[in-house]
Structure 1
Amino acid sequence: MDSELKEEIPVHEEFILCGGVETQVLKCGPWTDLFNDQSVKRPKLLIFIIPDSNAQEIKDIYGLNGQIEHKLAFLRTHVPKDMKLVLIGHSIGSYFTLQMLKRVPELLVIRAFLLFPTIERMSESPNGRIATPLLCRFRYVLYVTGYLLLKLCPEKIKSLLIRRCLQLMNLENEFSPLNVLEPFCLANAAYLGGQEMMEVVKRDDETIKEHLSKLTFYYGTIDPWCPKEYYEDIKKDFPEGDIQLAEKNIPHAFIIRFNQEVASMIADSLKDDLSKM
């Protein structure tokens, strides 16, 4: 397993116009165009990763519904209909994943992973009780404060602050994260977050029941966005489902320190599915 994890995998970054906005796409693998590549080497499976937040132009693309349609627009435009899919959603990306299955049931999804899934009662969660008033009532105050603090801050200082934070967390800085501190990026994130607090309330049991055989839920023991009681509730309602609880104290933002553990879990779970292809 270790040798597989250390294998060099080509990573290609590009920006495409999708749903009316410029969209960053990271492609892992040797291929670049699924539609025009008709060779026998064309992959039979696409693993589509939907993080926690971003054809024809989509209305309100930075809102909750717009983000779901944005992901579907990418699949319609850039992925052949006969391509089998593995969907991986983290946080609000898990909500997007369920909505994609609901809206386009003909997608050839063989497995969907919902990691630390914020799919219900977001405003009632420990973090939600703090975030809801900030994002829903004082959003414009955050906009103005963020603009004044960050827009006037020199790029060198922002870069230094980010690098210093990464060093304190013993993380390798393998990417350029300056866009995280752009006022308009923060404003869009706050706008989406406010809609999440208001609209992600009731768990979509009907969609879960319809697609349960292909769903894998992965909850944390110390997650303030979807606490352990949410895991216990869904486990009780769907005892036959693949609903797991992290053995370690893996945080909601697992990518910072526990990316290898979560990646190994997904890889192990996919072995049977991939062996049948």
Structure 2
Amino acid sequence: MSFSNNVFVPQRTCWTVGGELRETLFWPNQSTVPPKAVMLLIPGNPGLVDFYVDFCTTLHKEFPDMDIIGVSHLGHTRFSDNRGLIYRCKKTHSLEEQAMNMIEVFDEIDREYAATSARPKMLLLGHSVGCYFAQKIVECREHRVDRVYSLFPAIESIADTPRGRQLRLLFQPGFRQLVAGMVETLRWLLPVSTIYRFAQMSGSLNHENAQLVVDKMLFGSCIRSILKMASDEMRVIGGLDEELYSRIGGKFVMYYGVGDEWVPVSYYHRMRDVNVDGTVFLCKEGISHAFVTNYSTQMARVVVEMLKQEFA
């Protein structure tokens, strides 16, 4: 069997964008012609792109002639660079810095594909606060984005949601440092096998995701970055940008959950009233906000149907 037949997707790489090293997963077009679409996946928080492997792999099996590119958020994960060396991000980035660098990621991708003979459709797929980043890209690159798929969009008044009120203390500066320090202490005191068991006992992670959390995310620097971004989300993301969705809402396909404590159903009804040109769904499948924990395949099937409409 040839070497190429043993190269599996996603392909794992990293690249420098705006002076920042980006952990990236890539599901390349499997056809012999240029891809008909390119999708940029923007994770929620925590922003570990590995959480989305099953989800994106299912999409790619249905649409093998589409390129899918997923990037982790800056500082949210430890990963190996292209030489195999562990990369540790030393900076804690603000929400604004994350958003600006994500715009640069889109620009790099868009330039790459604009140079091809047949420009593919440029699609964004955001999850949770990833939808806020997608919104920021569309605000300044409106004519270069063909469609935005927003899953459980955390784009409005996060601090006023049930979960936002419950977890507000966790995101305060002193508490963030305390939690990050406790994580570092646990890694020093306990064997990794014990930490794995604790992660699985949480009940919110399956076996694979528990391993990802411990191996790639459960470090003091990563926890500081994750909690810093969450704190900024509470402070920065306020009222719905009604002007944007009234003006170019037709670019958006949006999917809201029932019983979502980060994005209450009242936000769905408000979006329906504001975004009269877009497509706004309310989940009927019982999929949770954190779909990557247990509902990746179900969520992918929903998005497959959305994409069939796009390519019809």
Do both share a fold (TM > 0.5)?
yes
Match of 1:49 among 14, 38, 41: 41
Tell me the SS of whatever aligns to 1:256: coil
1:183 paired to 2:193: no
Q: Following TM superposition, by how much is the alpha carbon of 1:207 offset from its aligned partner in structure 2, in angstroms?
A: 1.6
Residues 169 and 139 of structure 1, relative CA distance in 2, 3 Å threshold: closer
Q: Following TM superposition, by how much is the alpha carbon of 1:172 offset from its aligned partner in structure 2, in angstroms?
A: 5.4
- Counting only pairs closer than 5 Å after superposition, residues 212-251 of structure 1 correspond to structure 2 as 212-251=249-288
Q: Following TM superposition, by how much is the alpha carbon of 1:150 offset from its aligned partner in structure 2, in angstroms?
A: 3.4
Is the Cα–Cα contact under 8 Å of residues 126 and 151 in structure 2 kept in the other structure? yes
1:25 paired residue number: 24
Match of 1:68 among 88, 93, 99: 99
CA deviations on 1:43-94 (whole Å, 9 max, x unpaired) are: 131011100131xxxxx87211111122222222343334421111000001
| % same residue | 23
Q: Following TM superposition, by how much is the alpha carbon of 1:244 offset from its aligned partner in structure 2, in angstroms?
A: 0.7
Moved more, 212-221 or 19-28: 19-28
CA deviations on 1:185-242 (whole Å, 9 max, x unpaired) are: 1110001010000000111112222221120111100111011111122222334431
1:126 paired residue number: 162
Is the Cα–Cα contact under 8 Å of residues 220 and 228 in structure 1 kept in the other structure? yes
Query: Aligned letter for 1:12?
Result: Q
Is the Cα–Cα contact under 8 Å of residues 118 and 226 in structure 1 kept in the other structure? yes
Q: Unpaired segments of 5 or more residues in structure 1?
A: 1-7, 32-38, 55-59
Query: Aligned letter for 2:264?
Result: P
1:104 paired to 2:141: yes
Q: Distance in 2 between matches of 1:61 and 1:99?
A: 20
Query: Aligned letter for 1:70?
Result: N
- Counting only pairs closer than 5 Å after superposition, residues 254-265 of structure 1 correspond to structure 2 as 254-265=291-302
Q: Following TM superposition, by how much is the alpha carbon of 1:144 offset from its aligned partner in structure 2, in angstroms?
A: 2.8
* Number of aligned residue pairs: 253
Q: Distance in 1 between matches of 2:92 and 2:253?
A: 28
Residues 83 and 153 of structure 1, relative CA distance in 2, 3 Å threshold: farther
2:113 paired residue number: 80
Residues 17 and 83 of structure 1, relative CA distance in 2, 3 Å threshold: same
Is the Cα–Cα contact under 8 Å of residues 126 and 225 in structure 1 kept in the other structure? yes
Query: Aligned letter for 1:196?
Result: E
Aligned Cα RMSD in Å?
2.6
Q: Distance in 2 between matches of 1:248 and 1:260?
A: 12
* Greater RCO (Cα-Cα under 8 Å, separation 6 or more): 2
Residues 83 and 27 of structure 1, relative CA distance in 2, 3 Å threshold: same
Tell me the SS of whatever aligns to 1:106: helix
1:193 paired residue number: 230
Tell me the SS of whatever aligns to 1:23: strand
Q: Following TM superposition, by how much is the alpha carbon of 1:258 offset from its aligned partner in structure 2, in angstroms?
A: 1.6
Query: Aligned letter for 1:173?
Result: E
Question: So what's the TM-score if we normalise by structure 1?
Answer: 0.81
Match of 1:205 among 226, 242, 250: 242
Moved more, 87-96 or 175-184: 175-184
2:60 paired residue number: none
Tell me the SS of whatever aligns to 1:217: strand
Query: Aligned letter for 1:131?
Result: L
Q: Unpaired segments of 5 or more residues in structure 2?
A: 1-6, 48-72, 74-90
Query: Aligned letter for 2:218?
Result: L
Question: So what's the TM-score if we normalise by structure 2?
Answer: 0.73
Residues 158 and 22 of structure 1, relative CA distance in 2, 3 Å threshold: farther
Query: Aligned letter for 2:208?
Result: N
Match of 2:208 among 168, 173, 182: 173
